[in-house]
């Protein structure tokens, strides 16, 4: 379905980003990976995506720095000739009440979770506009639609991502360039596992009980959204069936925002 498209996926050496990169490769895409990790982990991610037979490369850009985001886009275009699909997935988290939130963590979360989305999109758009085709998918969050305590920076950034998604969609609505957001609820990533472990320690219960309690508070399905579910949503948004779908939010939250 996406044969010979060129995809850049940020934060794709593990978790959700790796699932997206692998799924796009399975659909026929050449992929540029980007993210953190030791050399062995990065090579394992590259091998996971490369098993579908398409070219795969890796770029170590630090997304908190504008110049490196710009270099990531430019180097992908030099390496593969263009970018057809941009998936802005990279993100970090920190939790604390607003009055205790470390300002340096606020700045870093906004830089990676929001500003990097803007800088990558700004750099990739001219090539898409020149060719009259492009797909931009921003991995936002249910926290781009609702709030939770102790997550001021993350909630602010993800709300910003959804607003930016709408603007990019409107500015390019006359071309075959779409921009959409995917908003997962709880996904069992290392970030969420850490929250479960911390909760179990704080409340003196088992990790299994802490996991059930976490889901019961927010996600009526009592099931985590899977990385492969998010990857499937991204593939759909990049495919022909979503050609007239732009400026939207696909919510995969087990009923969280329906309450």
Contact at 8 Å (CB) between 235 and 249?
no
Instruction: Report helix angle 152-171 to 116-131, nearest 10.
Output: 10
3-state secondary structure the chain: CCCCCEEEECCCCCHHHHHHHHHHHHCCCEEEEECCCCHHHHHHHHHHHHCCCCCEEEECCCCCCHHHHHHHHHHHHHHHCCCCEEEECCCCCCCECHHHCCHHHHHHHHHHHHHHHHHHHHHHHHHHHHHCEEEEEEECCHHHCCCCCCEHHHHHHHHHHHHHHHHHHHHCCCCEEEEEEEEECCECCHHHHHHHHHHHHHHCCCHHHHHHHHHHHHCCCCCCECHHHHHHHHHHHHCHHHCCCCCCEEEECCCHHHC
* Residues marked as catalytic: 154
Alpha carbons 91 and 189: distance in angstroms, whole number:
12
Contact 14, 89 (CB under 8 A): no
């Amino acid at each position: 379905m996406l044969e010979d498209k060129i995809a850049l996926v940020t934060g794709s050496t593990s978790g959700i980003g790796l699932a997206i990169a692998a799924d796009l490769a399975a659909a026929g895409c050449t992929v540029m990976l980007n993210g953190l990790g030791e050399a062995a982990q990065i090579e394992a991610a590259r091998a996971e995506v490369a098993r579908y037979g398409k070219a795969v490369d890796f770029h170590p850009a630090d997304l908190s720095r504008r110049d490196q985001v710009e270099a990531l886009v430019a180097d992908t275009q030099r390496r593969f000739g263009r970018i057809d699909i941009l998936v802005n997935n990279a993100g970090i988290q920190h939790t604390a009440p607003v009055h205790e939130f470390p300002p340096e963590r606020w700045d870093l979360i906004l830089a990676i979770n929001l500003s990097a989305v803007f800088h990558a999109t700004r750099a990739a758009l001219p090539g898409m506009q020149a060719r009259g085709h492009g797909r931009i998918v921003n991995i936002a969050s249910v926290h781009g639609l609702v709030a939770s305590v102790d997550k001021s920076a993350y909630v602010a950034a993800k709300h910003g991502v959804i607003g930016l998604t709408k603007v990019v969609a409107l500015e390019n609505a006359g071309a075959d360039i779409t921009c959409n957001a995917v908003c997962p609820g709880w996904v069992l990533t290392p970030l969420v596992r850490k929250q479960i472990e911390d909760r179990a320690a704080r409340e003196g219960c088992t990790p299994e009980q802490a996991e059930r309690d976490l889901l019961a508070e927010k996600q009526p399905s009592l099931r985590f959204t899977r990385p492969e579910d998010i990857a499937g949503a991204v593939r759909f948004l990049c495919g022909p069936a979503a050609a007239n779908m732009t400026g939207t939010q696909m919510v995969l939250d087990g009923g969280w925002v329906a309450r």
